[in-house]
């Protein structure tokens, strides 16, 4: 789980759950700055704002901790509105929806958990220890990429491993048909409909800070943060809510996040 990749620039806004500001924005000349508009990346890497994403994510995390700021910013105000609308139409529109005009405003950003790199142990051709299950791409742990997944090596897995997997499985004998298993009906027990979905949002907001400073600090791994257990009370409340009320997608997402953090 320490191989969680962090995207360095997720839009920071209370209503924007997980909107990523593409690294192409930095590629077009956006500078990472603090809340006062002062660049800081050269203190961390000679490549400045064009440093690799793991370095950028750690640098933003360090600046936020150093200054106690809730976010850092991307500054691409030197580009015209017309350029940004043509080059980044979706990003420009999304930021504008949240009250940020890329042409005139700093874009508030924070690192965000992006991909879990690796997981299912697999050979290059996708073979796993479970007969009939193959795994390729970012879900697979083949040894071709580590914690800092790059576009180039995920492309390697998507093309090379997928090709090797296809070549292997086309040579396998066709498996016999299996009768469709009957999945039993869901047992709701004593759970009742919740008339207070706001509780899910409240738990989300309450638990996010300790998750960020502990489990989410995988951007800067440390044994002490991993053992702090600051989110244990939140996880207990979420578990109780899960059993007391009928399941919803939001409840499941919140419970899964608590499980992953734990």
Spell out the SS3 assignment of the chain. CCCEEEEEEEECECCECCCECCCHHHHCCCEEECCCCCECHHHCCCCHHHCCHHHHHHHHHHHHHHHCCCCEEEECCCCCHHHHHHHCHHHHHHHHHCCCCCCCCCEEEEEEEEEECCCEECCCCCECCCCCCECCHHHEECCCCCCCCCHHHHHHHHHHHHHHHHHHHCCCCCCCCCCCCCCCCCCCCCCECCCCCHHHHHHHHHHHHHHHHCHHHHHCCCHHHHHCCCCHHHHHHHHHHHHHECCCHHHHHHHHHHHHHC
Exposure string of 123-132, with b = 16+ CB inside 10 Å and e = fewer, is bbbbbeeeee
**Rounded CA gap, 43 and 116, in Å?**
28
43 catalytic residue (yes or no): no
**Please, what sign has the CA dihedral across residues 246, 18, 204, 120?**
positive
**Rounded CA gap, 224 and 248, in Å?**
34
**Catalytic residue (choose from 26, 53, 58, 255):** 53
The residues annotated as belonging to the active site are 53
């Amino acid at each position: 789980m320490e191989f969680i990749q962090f995207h360095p620039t997720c839009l920071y806004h209370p209503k924007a759950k997980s909107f990523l500001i593409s690294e192409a924005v930095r590629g077009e000349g956006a500078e990472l700055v603090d809340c006062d508009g002062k660049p800081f990346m050269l203190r961390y890497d000679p490549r400045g704002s064009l440093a690799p994403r793991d370095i950028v994510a750690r640098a933003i995390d360090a600046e936020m901790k150093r200054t106690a700021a809730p976010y850092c910013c991307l500054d691409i105000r030197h580009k015209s509105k017309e350029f940004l609308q043509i080059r980044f139409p979706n990003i420009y529109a999304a930021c504008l929806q949240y009250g940020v005009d890329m042409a005139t405003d700093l874009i508030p950003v924070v690192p965000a958990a992006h991909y879990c790199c690796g997981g299912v142990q697999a050979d290059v051709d996708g073979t796993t220890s479970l007969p009939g299950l193959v795994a390729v791409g970012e879900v697979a742990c083949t040894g071709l990429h580590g914690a800092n997944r790059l576009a180039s090596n995920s492309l390697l897995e998507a093309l090379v491993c997928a090709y090797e997997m296809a070549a292997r499985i086309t040579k396998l004998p066709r498996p016999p048909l299996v009768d469709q298993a009957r999945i039993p009906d869901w047992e709701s027990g004593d759970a009742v409909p919740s008339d207070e979905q706001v509780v899910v949002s409240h738990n989300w907001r309450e638990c996010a800070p300790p998750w960020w400073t502990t489990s989410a600090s995988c951007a800067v791994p440390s044994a002490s943060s991993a053992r702090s257990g600051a989110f244990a009370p939140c996880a207990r409340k979420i578990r109780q809510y899960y059993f007391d009320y009928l399941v919803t997608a939001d409840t499941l997402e919140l419970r899964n996040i608590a499980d992953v953090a734990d």
